[in-house]
Amino acid sequence: MDSLSGRSAIVTGGARGIGAAVVRSLTEEDFGVVVADILEREGRELADRLGDAAIFHVLDVTDETQWRQTLRDAEATYGPPAVLINNAGIVDFAGVEAESPAMFRHVVDVNLYGSWLGMHVCAPAIRAAGGGVIVNMSSTAGLIGYAGVGGYVASKWGLRGVTKAAALELGPDNVRVCSVHPGPIHTPMTAVLSESTAAYQPLPRFGEPDEVAAMVRFLVTEATFSTGSEFVCDGGATAGRTLDLADVS
């Protein structure tokens, strides 16, 4: 941690939900954090509350020019980049037949291409500064399939794969790259889901953004021998289903 502290961190989708929790957590670790998002009001309010520890920057993660400006501002304000958290993401609740081609591409563009673009732009600077950490926010949808969100599932499986490719490429230069796979978490994105969605899990509840942020913080500050790996925060959702012995004859 000592070699990374005091440098800059960029958190996409940082204005609210999991992203905002990650921003708050990283400021506690002496990073200067860029809250990067298209949600200006929420992002500026969060940065203002955090004072000198954070700034807000408008970022459409699919726009290379905006990425490069975000990186320049991070370096100018807080110094060389140490951490990139690719958290920005969207979902379209539509099945394979119902989802429009345009929306499928948009989901993949934001969730997968946007994260790849962030690594493409920021990895050289992180490497040149002596190393750092990239965390890509995937999902349990990057580990198993879900009906009704085909574009989302495709993007999150793809993000899991490109994480491994980047880890192999960047590891020799002391850049660790891991993916985090949250299950149902209380965020604006999941507000349409019933609480019963989590009823079958070993921990039958939705998680909280701070619980995911704690895992991200661990990856950044403690997991110094981990790269290319999946870290799951899902209440046991991907462990399987409990067998009801009352149904066994």
Is 152 annotated as catalytic?
Answer: yes
| CB-based burial, 62-100: b 16+ in 10 Å, e otherwise | eeeebbeebbebbbeebebbbbbbbbbbbbbebeeeebe
Catalytic: which of 78, 113, 152, 200?
A: 152
The residues facing 94 across adjacent strands are: 149
CA distance 7 to 197: 39
The answer to whether 148 and 95 are in contact (CB under 8 A) is: yes
Nearest to 13 by CA among 194, 235, 223, 216: 216
The catalytic residues are: 152
